[in-house]
Amino acid sequence: MSSLPHPVPSRMAQNVAALYGHDDETFVAWQRLCAHAAEALRPPPDPERLSKALALALGGHVEVEDDGFAVVTSGPNLYHV
């Protein structure tokens, strides 16, 4: 995994951590990255959809490729985003 700057966790990051717990540095980095991405979205995302997206990312169903795109596995479907 590439190095990511990790600022003081925002309220969103703290909420994600409270939901999923802290396992290791990689997991915490994913939590912060997901929270940062969610906070950057305008308009704010639907909370239910955001919760499902975070579950996919934190469940290991998102693989970030070297070119910055990601492959998301949801059920039998693969999405390139």
Higher pLDDT, 12 or 53: 53
- pTM equals 0.49
Which of 5-9, 32-36, 39-43 has the weakest average pLDDT? Answer: 5-9
pLDDT at 62 over 70: yes
Q: How far apart (Å, rounded) are the C-alpha atoms in residues 25 and 22?
A: 8
Q: Give the list of residues 6+ apart from residue 10 with CB closer than 8 angstroms, or none.
A: 35, 36, 39
* pLDDT value of residue 77: 92
